[in-house]
Structure 1
Amino acid sequence: MIRNILFAYVLFLFIVTIGNAQEKQMFYVGTFTTEGAEGIYYCSLNSQSGEISLENTFKGVDNPSFLRLSPQKDFLYVVTRATPQVEPSGGFISAYQVGEKGELHFINKQVSNGAGPCHVDVAPDGKFVAIATYGGGTTSVYAVNENGGVEPALTVVKNSGNGLHPNQKSPHAHSIKFSPKGPGIFSADLGTDQLNIFHFENGSFGRYEQEFVKLPAGAGPRHFVFHPEEEVIYVINELNSTISAIKKENEKWYVFQNISTLPDDFKGESNCADIHLSKDGQYLYGSNRGHNSIAVFKVNANQKLSFLGTVPVEGNWPRNFGISPDGNWMLVANQRSHNITVFRMNHETGMPEFSGKQIDLPAPVCIEYQ
């Protein structure tokens, strides 16, 4: 009898432990240490209640403005901004090994080959890393060695050109991503109104015949996302607060829709930042800094967007946001109000609904789920 009771108690503890583990969704937060942060924060999201808890702080990382985990979640790659006195080229790409409890162990770093590194992506096979620099207008690709470290850049591309807006006096590469549908890399350049297209396969880098997609003058492309099924890319434009939908037909990419992220009656200043699709690909979201909202769109059968409205972010300057891997939560990193706010996703309407939950963290600018 006693043995049965002990067995039942142990089983109960095991079930509770597993349940608690499944309730927690871990994520890293990139920050600006020049605005009061201490480095990279490691947090947990309770997938039942929406509560956020700070689990660990990894100090001594200067301005970790963007983070990306490897496909196996065993390495974290971070672009960091440095002063000219520390690194004349402007910054670094750093590699960390991820421990069993999410702890970060520094492996190595390489120079960013441009000032203001602002975005990083990892190839689907984990063998290469690519970064973009805003100040330098460069894109660089690095090989990853067996221990997860980054080798010196395989290739560095310096963009050229300018645009009509005062913030477009020179190139500003703002994001870069490996294509999920073939051997390619795309990069949005805010300064030249271009989505640049590169061919990349087995470490060989070059240009396609179509070198870029030209966006509307003064748009300022910043971030972009790939449609999960169709050859469609949605680009969020910082300077004119729009989203451009780009489609590939007959081996040619072209813009087939431009749509505002702001309500018609808004008269103030606002700049777009981040963009994400819902897990099922039916809804698209973009962040408005200034209007301080998330713009919500329905993705129609023809991949065109219909504007559904905006949701206040309950903070100031939503530079980055992320939808949880289970698709049930949205976390919004509000840089200037120094908080991350939590929204429950309404799967019937597509609208994020504020949960009342948030956490105060200094200058959060990037969310990366583990």
Structure 2
Amino acid sequence: MNGAGRTDGTEGTSRSGGHRAYIGSFTSGGGRGVLTATVDPVTGALTPLAVTGTLPDPSYLALDRSSGVLYAVSESDEGAVGAFRTTAGGLAALGPAVPVAGSGPTHIALAGSRLLTANYTSGSVSSLPLDAEGTPRGPATVLAHTGAGPDAARQEGPHAHQVVPDPTGRWVLSVDLGTDSVRVCALDPADGALRVRAEVALRAGTGPRHLAFHPSGAVVYVLHELEPQLTVCRWNANAGLLEPLREVPLAPEGAPDGVRAYPSAVVAAPDGRFLWVAVRGTDTLATFSLTADPTLPRLTDTTSSGGSWPRDLAVDPSGRRLYAANERSGEVVWFDVDPESGRPRRSGALPVPAATCVVFG
């Protein structure tokens, strides 16, 4: 399989020729599974096509464009992944779910011929091989994180929340909320094991959750869940070095207190001019301008997510629209992006109970 064709949902068209969106959900919270929807090329509106409910709690998705296979975690105590062939009518399962040898997987990504999951509850990252058809096979190779943080309720041990390859494909970065750190790993091509190159410490108690690369590949934005801020880092792909530069708050100075903010997702515009962050609790989307310097994000706008508890945020392939998966209010809201300011303006919504994730294909 050609790794260059893989995507986390920021670009692509489906093998069936039409533009699609795939939406994950918590079946334990009333969701129906993975929803396939068509995307109107003019308005960005979503229209339901089919639902696949064979996998419990498919909370995060990843799409391989070259093979037309969609992967989903099963965010359960047992921890598993499912694989589905994209078809004209929706999705077709490629066999039974495969255990990841980790508990509570919250994120999934493709790296070469391996499928990776970040396992929140067990604080580990799993690597599974893919066969020629793109079907995951066991057993998983597991990298166990170690450590803890000062927040006794949330950081009693490691909690890997995201795993993502860098744009060159040479390195894998895993974000751990429990240990306040990002691990830079090399993926062994022989056995698929992750070898830690470095563990980069971030400020204690901030709880890093997700990161996003600037399209240049030279800057990384680490989003923190336990404190509403970003850590801006320089990324050296040649050496595999992540260097924290500064922290940037997600709210303007003088913003009122009283509501606890839980940042959830960060995405960069394909042209590198803007950065957007979803924040639960305040239920807002923050817009940052990157035009002056991508290492100096400037907060320019804060707007409503259009619902409650925006768990995920996705930018469409054109960069003209944002999609927020509002978990608790149960809908995916889409926004038109102002081309000059980057400000999102609500355009429509699709009811999706317990929505958790949106990817495009």
The answer, yes or no, to whether TM exceeds 0.5 is yes
Q: 2:256 aligns with which of 263, 266, 272?
A: 266
Residue of structure 2 equivalent to 1:14: none
Number of residue pairs aligned between Structure 1 and Structure 2: 339
| Shift in CA distance, 149/350, structure 1 to aligned 2, threshold 3 Å | same
| Shift in CA distance, 157/78, structure 1 to aligned 2, threshold 3 Å | same
Looking at structure 1, the residues matched to 92 and 114 of structure 2 have their Cα atoms a distance apart, in angstroms, of 20
Residue of structure 2 equivalent to 1:277: 268
2:72 is aligned with what amino acid?
V
- The answer as to 2:333 corresponding to 1:341 is yes
Contact 1:193–1:220, Cα closer than 8 Å, also in 2: yes
Percent identity between the two aligned chains:
26
SS in structure 1 of the partner of residue 19 of structure 2: strand
Unaligned runs of 5+ in 1: 1-20, 84-89
- The answer as to 2:68 corresponding to 1:74 is yes
- The answer as to 2:171 corresponding to 1:184 is yes
- The answer as to 2:310 corresponding to 1:318 is yes
Q: Which moved more, 1:179-188 or 1:146-155?
A: 146-155
More helix by share: 1
Contact 1:67–1:368, Cα closer than 8 Å, also in 2: yes
Looking at structure 2, the residues matched to 38 and 143 of structure 1 have their Cα atoms a distance apart, in angstroms, of 28
TM-score normalised by structure 2 residue count: 0.89
1:366 is aligned with what amino acid?
C
1:27 to partner: Cα distance = 0.6
Looking at structure 2, the residues matched to 119 and 320 of structure 1 have their Cα atoms a distance apart, in angstroms, of 11
TM-score normalised by structure 1 residue count: 0.87
SS in structure 2 of the partner of residue 259 of structure 1: strand
Which residues of 2 match residues 221-300 of structure 1 at below 5 A? 221-248=208-235, 251=239, 252-264=241-253, 265-267=255-257, 268-299=259-290, 300=292
Q: 2:346 aligns with which of 351, 354, 358?
A: 354
Looking at structure 1, the residues matched to 268 and 342 of structure 2 have their Cα atoms a distance apart, in angstroms, of 10
1:208 to partner: Cα distance = 4.8
Looking at structure 1, the residues matched to 43 and 360 of structure 2 have their Cα atoms a distance apart, in angstroms, of 17
Looking at structure 1, the residues matched to 171 and 96 of structure 2 have their Cα atoms a distance apart, in angstroms, of 26
Contact 1:96–1:148, Cα closer than 8 Å, also in 2: no
1:316-346 deviations in Å (ceiling 9; x for gaps): 0000011111211111100000011110011
Looking at structure 1, the residues matched to 45 and 87 of structure 2 have their Cα atoms a distance apart, in angstroms, of 24
- The answer as to 2:135 corresponding to 1:144 is no
2:251 is aligned with what amino acid?
L
Residue of structure 2 equivalent to 1:26: 20
1:233-256 deviations in Å (ceiling 9; x for gaps): 111100101111111359442210
| Higher relative contact order structure (alpha carbons within 8 Å, sequence separation ≥ 6) | 2
| Shift in CA distance, 208/159, structure 1 to aligned 2, threshold 3 Å | closer
Unaligned runs of 5+ in 2: 1-15
2:296 is aligned with what amino acid?
K
RMSD: 1.9
2:64 is aligned with what amino acid?
S
| Shift in CA distance, 110/237, structure 1 to aligned 2, threshold 3 Å | same
Q: Which moved more, 1:187-196 or 1:230-239?
A: 230-239
Which structure has the bigger radius of gyration? 1
- The answer as to 2:81 corresponding to 1:93 is yes
Looking at structure 2, the residues matched to 150 and 298 of structure 1 have their Cα atoms a distance apart, in angstroms, of 39
1:163 is aligned with what amino acid?
G
